[in-house]
Amino acid sequence: MPAIRRLMREDWLATAKKILVQSGVDDIKIDRLAKRLKVTRGSFYWHFRSRSDLLSAILKDWEVRNQVEISQIQDRWAETGPDLNEVSAIWLGEDPDFQAQDLAIRSWGRKAPPVAQAVHRIDEAWIDLFSQLYRQDGYDADQSLVRARIAYFHQVGYYALALREDLDTRIRLAPIFYEALTGKKPGKSFDDVIARIRTQKRSREAKP
């Protein structure tokens, strides 16, 4: 008989995130999670103190992922200078599950002030990042802020509208978006990003 795998903290988090996306935060209940995972409630308390602890972990997971992406872009810009290339790479390679989670977190924030504050912090961090890009291109503070908001809201809009657009279409349109958002045609480094995304796509499709 194969050994039974003990549930980990990540299993509870993953299932709770699915419920958040499917039906909202109010449906994240310990009994419902235990039923889905086919375990008793007691298993939950090995990993979390309470339902509130679980919800805090979901929010923290979302915040940290955004913070990591911002840090990666800043590290890259420290070497190459600000450009939209690495941001485009993240957007094009974004996990659809994370996109759905992002929208669910924002919906949750409409009725939970602490969540709304976290969303605001992340949004401001992204907009500040984009502002660096536009200031580098010579725009003043107000122009940089407005352009940064347009660039960021463009991507949030993709999540909110749940556009049914496959990756090949997004890749085809990406250079046009790049020019619309920056006022410049993409260069060789942008082509390298697109090639990398295509390679990653082929690799995913080749997996059994």
Tens digits of residue pLDDT in 71-122: 999 998 998 888 888 888 888 877 777 888 999 999 999 999 999 999 999 9
DSSP designation for 138: T
Same domain for 69 and 26, yes or no, is no
Kindly state the helix (H) or strand (E) to which residue 33 belongs, with its residue range: helix 30-37
Same domain for 13 and 76, yes or no, is no
Tens digits of residue pLDDT in 51-69: 999 999 999 999 999 999 9
Residue-range definition of the domain harbouring residue 30:
1-48
Report the pLDDT averaged over residues 8-19: 95
Q: Quick check: 77 and 136 in contact, CB under 8 A?
A: no
Q: Quick check: 135 and 141 in contact, CB under 8 A?
A: yes
Tens digits of residue pLDDT in 158-182: 888 877 788 888 889 889 999 999 9
Same domain for 93 and 195, yes or no, is yes
Separation of CA 84 from chain center: 17
Same domain for 24 and 119, yes or no, is no
Q: Residue 86 in 3-state DSSP?
A: helix
pLDDT at 208: 62
pLDDT at 4 > cutoff 70: no
Would residue 54 count as lying in a domain?
no
d(CA 17, CA 137): 39
- Domain of 5: which CATH number? 1.10.10.60
d(CA 49, CA 41): 12
Report the pLDDT averaged over residues 35-46: 90
Would residue 53 count as lying in a domain?
no
pLDDT at 1: 36
Same domain for 85 and 20, yes or no, is no
pLDDT at 152: 94
Same domain for 44 and 73, yes or no, is no
The chain-wide mean pLDDT, for the chain, equals 89
d(CA 115, CA 113): 5
Would residue 152 count as lying in a domain?
yes
Same domain for 139 and 172, yes or no, is yes
Same domain for 13 and 78, yes or no, is no
pLDDT band at 27 (very low <50, low <70, confident <90, very high): very high
Same domain for 32 and 66, yes or no, is no
Q: What is the count of structural domains for the chain?
A: 2
Same domain for 81 and 137, yes or no, is yes
Q: Helices (DSSP H) in 113-140: which residue ranges?
A: 113-136
